[in-house]
Structure 1
Amino acid sequence: GARFSPVPPPMMVESSEASPPEACAEFRLTECEATFKVKNFVAAVAATDTVYPGHPDFREIASCPIMSAGDFKFAIVIVWGVDERGRPDLNKKIGVCGRRVDHTLEICTLSMAWKLLNQTDSNSCSGVDRGFFRHSRGHDRGRLPWGESASTLVSLAEAFDVSKGWLHDGALHIRMKLTVVTNITAVNSSVSDDAVSQQDVCNDMRTLLDNAIFTDVSIEVGDEQIMAHRNILAARSPVFNAMLHTSMSEGREKKIVIKDLDARAVRDMIGYLYTGSVKGETLDDDDMCLGLLQAAHYYKVDGLVGSCADLISKRLAVTTVCDRLEFADLLGCENLKTRCLSFIYQHMAEVQNTEAYQKLCRRPSLLMDIIAMLSPPAKRKRGDRPESD
């Protein structure tokens, strides 16, 4: 197994330290470990345009959920900086973090160790937590490429230099090990109370929706009617907010008629507006997830759009990526479209032999997007002057 050398504590997105496991009346420590191998790392960085959340000058590549402990699932994410034109900034560092990607509302407590592997093990870059920390759904934990702690990280220029030993047959390798506290029966801290309180609120909101308690608006989609609450719909969706204004017919008639959307997708979206969660069976099925993405995009439920796009992009395959790209383009979902183009860039030889790719070639705009991805604009030679208006 790999050795994880102690270094100063990594930077955290969520920084509150949790009570040690000894505070639990009964608990279990579950360990999970994985290695994320980013093939053709130099090309992958050049082709990726996925913005790291909240930091427009940084990009990311995330693995699929490759570690799990109980109901908790985790992905490994690498982060790097770009210049003002969106090109990789070779002078900036490469960050490494773990991301919770499950759909449970419970806050987990964990300790993390990670290692950016060098061909010479003693040169590897690593980090380890000194204690256990709370880790909420959707948050990252690790060492990010900004702030004082970034000085110990590896720069893009170093990683790209094959003589430095960071690339293994062109791939960058990141190993991560998590120790997660699970099966807690009693905790002497407010974390458990907060998690239970949040779950109680979600359960009560679900009951409010399912039992149609004090509803004041009906949603008609296909042959179904969903009874809901105007104030909740308006608070959670700017489109519903505009529709339910008293000057609109929907506001006066207290009825919303939805066409061209799948009834189940609308029902799941409404459930998300109330509880912030979606049933796993919907998210695990690509067709249902695509329908949900379409509904969420139309009603501008941005959090749900992002979650659906992330899940679909992580399940892209050579046989499906062209269909997903066409869907994303027609929908106007740039998040998913960019990830599809990046996947095609990395698997072009296999993708271009599929029937779906031949069909895609009939759409000149998408074909131009693919060509632009494969053949970036040539750099201007020194001495050339830009054209003036």
Structure 2
Amino acid sequence: MIKQRRIWSWLVIGFAIALQFFWSLGASAAVTDYLQEQKFLTNVWQIVNRSYVDADFNHQNWYKVRRQFVNRKFNSHDDTYQAIREMLATLDDPFTRLLEPDKFKSMQTSTAGALTGVGLQIAVDEPKNNVIVIAPIEGSPADAAGLRSRDRIVGIDNIPTKGLSLDECATRMRGEIGSEVKLTIERPLADDKGFEKFDVVIKRDRIAVTPIIAKLNQEDNHKVGYIRLNQFNGNAATDMEKTIKKFEAEGADRYVLDLRGNPGGLFDAGLEIARMWIPEGTVVYTVDRHGVQESFEAKGSAITTDPLVVLTDGGSASASEILAGALQETNRAQLVGTKTYGKGLIQSLYELEDGAGLAVTIAKYETPLHHNIHKRGIIPNVEVALTEPITRKQLGTKEDPQYVAALSVLDGTYKKNVIAKS
């Protein structure tokens, strides 16, 4: 009987030791996971700390912000993502944001020249924080549905967009090819007299982003190279060079460069394309957090010096504004159309260890005459508004009033409304 009790005692002790061992293993794993999540958040914090454009971090102590978020309880990687989103939100900069692995991959695919979805470039219209369309992508489902620059997206599948981030809106609009999404749109009425509200159902598809659509138009005694640049993606500079050289060989003697509805893209692509048109001078300045300016110059490698007019509108943003501002302020071209969008910030993308990405605003840019156009836009030399919307097929034809005005500017017959640079 005593021997039996001893056996049971040893069994109980052994079971307790085993429990303690496995509990220790679990606790150790939990601690390890927690430390890994802390490290992940700290890595994001450090990237922002060393590269963000605003050295004051939106008037807050960035070290205190780190302490506030790094000591949270992280039960999962999603908890860490949420903490990072909240931490970045304190910067009050919608362009500095976390991109989860699928979103980061989608962005990389987009800048490479293809993506899946409805084909909209969107932004937040401050200060009311409305989600607006910068421009639909040429030939995309959204383009076919008739969506326009400056349309407000107020609902996605009956879910209000108020309070959603840009990435959340983009995620809701993405989906399988052939599936449908319902967008609730508010469209500004003429003379800013309110909005027209309507729903549109769009079928998602694979979207090939063709950066350039071009044609050589015979206009009286001149051959006009009409080049519509839709996006500054990875193919844009190469395609632009080929197009200009082709038109030069075919006898083009003047050009119309159409940046309407071009939401921007890669900074380097904008810089390369500017150098194809500008023989000499500064293309753009960038200003970092310390106020240090870096200038990017033309290299004397312009492909043509033929007369040039650039078409702009409210959908011309970011890299489009770098190019338009450079061409205008070096007196290489006149701008015709309406004021540009006004995004003068530059982001850099960082890949994180789990495949996610971090977009960080690292600098602002200034035009050759040191104008900061962020939230201001660029005013064209000749302002010509479209009183009625036109189709894609009408762009660059005599049914396109802004293109017709550009031809008149090239001929010197348009009564110029030259905007004073201030």
Q: TM-score, normalization: structure 2?
A: 0.24
Q: Which has the higher contact order (CA 8 A, sep 6+)?
A: 1
Higher helix share: 1
State the TM-score, normalizing by the size of structure 1.
0.26
Query: Considering only CA atoms, is the larger Rg found in Structure 1 or Structure 2?
Result: 2
